[in-house]
Amino acid sequence: MEGGAEDQKTVSGGPAWFMSLSSKVTDPAKRELAMDLLKALTDERQANVTASMGGVTAWADPEYDTAKVPALFNEYNEMIKNITAVPIYDACMDASVIETMNVGLQSLLIGEKTPEELAEEIQTEQELAQ
């Protein structure tokens, strides 16, 4: 990238899964049970189990038997220890801007719009969303 003097180990990304608790669960006992379940499904033990089967986790440094998973998985886990994750850009943008961009990219690819036209539409939508 031209002028790419920034940190070369920065990667846009993050886990592609999440769990949440509905605001409709208002009973304190039920909320506590639900939170206990969410914690059990996302804690270090679960991350270690997932990694031991070759699954990518959101846990920073899972413990697993490296001999029982593909070598590429081990290389990946070592590599991600040395990167800086930054948010995926479209996760930080208003949904209307993302919709304009995605629909516009389709139109761009089939020749219905020019890059300049699409850029103008995205900019307009971004200004409306602010």
User: What pLDDT sits at residue 16?
Assistant: 66
Q: Are 107 and 113 spatial neighbours (Cβ–Cβ below 8 Å)?
A: yes
> pTM (2 decimals)?
0.60
* Cα–Cα dist 18/6, whole Å: 30
pLDDT band at 83 (very low <50, low <70, confident <90, very high): confident
Residue-by-residue DSSP string for 69-103: S-HHHHHHHHHHTT-EEE--GGGGS-HHHHHHHHH
Number of residues that this document lists for the chain? 130
Helix axes 95-109, 115-129, angle to 10 degrees: 170
pLDDT in tens, 19-52: 889 999 999 999 999 999 999 988 999 999 999 9
